[in-house]
Structure 1
Amino acid sequence: MTFTPYLYFDGQAEAALRYYAEVFGATDLTLMPYHEAPEPEGLPKSDHIMYGHIMLGDACLMASDVMPGTKAGPQQAVAINFPVETVEEGQHLFDRLCEGGAVTMPYGPVFYSKAFGMVKDRFGTHWMIGVPPEEPDA
């Protein structure tokens, strides 16, 4: 079992998921706009995303736009943690997520990791990128 993050956007889900797929190298991108829902569902005929996800191995990041006519609140009280194997890989991802975003904690060494940083990307998603702590020798 695992938890799967699900992000809500206000008309930016497609752009965000395409960007995340490119940044993280995801090979599976699914986008289903509201207008593709069956007629009997009574959903709006909109190009906004009703359901979307990217897959990175077994990991899934899901997202959609809120129902047309409603407003999405900002993503303020949650961050997506993405562990990386190397400092260099983390720096690359951190730098990409910073494009048009804002650093909330610079990427670099901290007492619990070789490198860790936090960023709010241009879509308002908060990310934590870091190298997991090393296991102590037994």
Structure 2
Amino acid sequence: MSFTPYIHFQGNCREAMTRYAEIFGAKLNIITYNDAPEGQTVPRSDRVMHSDILTETGSLLMASDFPEGMEGAPQAAVTISRIVDTEPEGRDVFGQLSEGGTVIVDYGPTYWSQGFGMLKDRFGTHWMVMVATDG
């Protein structure tokens, strides 16, 4: 059994998921509220009703925008953990995600991993990037 994060944005989901797809080399799918079939009771807009990215290794991240006028705190108390295979890959991913964001814990070696760091990206998503351990 696995769990798949589903995160929410306030109008910038398309921009965020497009950037994540670029960083992770993933395929991006987007459906807007305007794409819903006629007769559905959804508020019409260009905001993202559902999106997902799927990496070549099968990692999946899903997201949407809150409908226009709906309050909500994007990614409140949620952190996405991205485990990578090598320290250089971790440094690269961390660097890309942190562009325009806030570093919480600088990326570097720890007693449990060759590389680990935490950040809040420019879209408001919290990330932990770490190198996989040998076990």
Secondary structure, counterpart of 1:81 in structure 2? strand
Secondary structure, counterpart of 1:41 in structure 2? coil
Please give the alpha-carbon distance, in whole angstroms, between the structure 1 residues aligned to 2:24 and 2:9.
Answer: 19
TM-score scaled by length of structure 1: 0.93
Aligned length: 134
Q: Which residue of 2 aligns with 1:10?
A: 10
1:47-106 CA distance string (max 9 Å, x none): 000010000131110000012210221423111111111100000000001100000000
Please give the alpha-carbon distance, in whole angstroms, between the structure 2 residues aligned to 1:130 and 1:59.
Answer: 15
The offset of 1:6, in angstroms, is 0.3
Gaps of 5+ in 1: none
1:105 is aligned to 2:105: yes
User: What amino acid does structure 2 have at the position aligned with 1:87?
Assistant: E
Q: Which residue of 2 aligns with 1:55?
A: 54
Q: Which residue of 2 aligns with 1:22?
A: 22
Please give the alpha-carbon distance, in whole angstroms, between the structure 2 residues aligned to 1:126 and 1:109.
Answer: 20
Q: Which residue of 2 aligns with 1:37?
A: 36
Gaps of 5+ in 2: none
The offset of 1:42, in angstroms, is 2.1
Percent identity reads 46
User: What amino acid does structure 1 have at the position aligned with 2:44?
Assistant: K
TM-score scaled by length of structure 2: 0.95
User: What amino acid does structure 2 have at the position aligned with 1:40?
Assistant: G
Task: Note the aligned Cα RMSD (angstroms).
Answer: 1.0
Secondary structure, counterpart of 2:20 in structure 1? helix
Please give the alpha-carbon distance, in whole angstroms, between the structure 2 residues aligned to 1:24 and 1:71.
Answer: 29
The offset of 1:45, in angstroms, is 1.7
1:96-127 CA distance string (max 9 Å, x none): 01100000000001111111000100001011
